Amino acid sequence: MTDALPPPRELCGGRFLRLIAQGHWEYAERTTATGAVAIVAITDDRRIVLVEQFRIPLGCRVIELPAGLTGDVPEDQIAGADALANSARRELLEETGYQAAEMRHLLTGPTSAGMTNEVVSYFHATGLRKVGSGGGDEHEAITVHEAPLDGLDAWIAERQAAGFGIDPKIFTSLWLVREWIRSPYYN
């Protein structure tokens, strides 16, 4: 099947996204970034650091992991192999005010394998120190939450009932932190 696949061609595009056609398939691609990072950061008192922001595509406020693009600023291009971890540090700090002593890669995987070539790299931030208020860059209006891990289901349910979107990546990251880090196959 891969042998028979014609090369991708650009169907049309905007400033930040383009549509690609390849064979009988269509998918979306970011024009300004090479990927995305999402960070699971758990404080010493067992709270997970989450962000809340209005998301134009969904038309509602969404509760998410701290996250952002990579490859969209010059320092990512010169950072080489550390580019992803550097992006994760930067996004965590900008969005939440937390500095992490260590950033450990957990998994890189597709967000919507049929619709886009976007992949997200999940990172586990440890050695957290609150050094700022967060809130994002000048274009973002982010509210920071520290949600209790023991009782997260109630915390989430309350926000769902209030009409917030809930990003499933939160649960992915919790599974990875709980199940993978102790696995002999994870390094």
Q: Known catalytic residues?
A: 138
- Asked if 180 is part of the footprint of a second copy (rule: CB under 8 A), the reply reads yes
Q: Exposed, middle or buried: residue 142 (CB in 10 Å: 0-12, 13-18, 19+)?
A: middle
Could you give the C-alpha distances from 57 to 53, 54, 61, 135, 165, in angstroms and in order? 12, 9, 10, 20, 12
Tell me which of 34, 43, 99, 116 binds a second copy, using CB under 8 A: 116
Stretch that binds a second copy, among 76-84, 95-103, 125-133, 173-181 (CB under 8 A): 173-181
Residue 35, token pair as written in the block:
């990927």
In the chain, the largest separation of any two C-alpha atoms, in whole Å, equals: 54
Window 51-110: residues binding a second copy (CB under 8 A)? 54-59, 62, 64, 107, 109-110
The length of the chain is 187
Could you tell me which residues come within 8 angstroms of residue 47 by beta carbon, excluding any fewer than 6 positions away? 146, 147, 148, 149
- Asked if 137 is part of the footprint of a second copy (rule: CB under 8 A), the reply reads no
Amino acid, res. 152: L
Tell me which of 73, 79, 119, 147 binds a second copy, using CB under 8 A: 119
- Asked if 23 is part of the footprint of a second copy (rule: CB under 8 A), the reply reads yes
- Asked if 154 is part of the footprint of a second copy (rule: CB under 8 A), the reply reads yes
Stretch that binds a second copy, among 40-48, 73-81, 92-100, 117-125 (CB under 8 A): 117-125
Q: Exposed, middle or buried: residue 113 (CB in 10 Å: 0-12, 13-18, 19+)?
A: exposed
**Distance of closest approach, residue 131 Cβ to a second copy, in angstroms:** 25
Tell me which of 39, 111, 134, 150 binds a second copy, using CB under 8 A: 111
- Asked if 1 is part of the footprint of a second copy (rule: CB under 8 A), the reply reads yes
Tell me which of 12, 78, 81, 162 binds a second copy, using CB under 8 A: 12
Q: Measure the CA–CA gap between 164 and 172, rounded to whole angstroms.
A: 19
Provide the phi-psi class of 88: left if phi over 0, else alpha when psi is between -120 and 50, else beta.
Answer: alpha
Residue 10, token pair as written in the block:
């650009």
Interface ranges with a second copy (CB under 8 A): 1-2, 5, 11-28, 30, 36, 54-59, 62, 64, 107, 109-120, 122, 139, 141, 153-154, 156-157, 165-169, 171-172, 174-176, 179-180, 183, 185-186
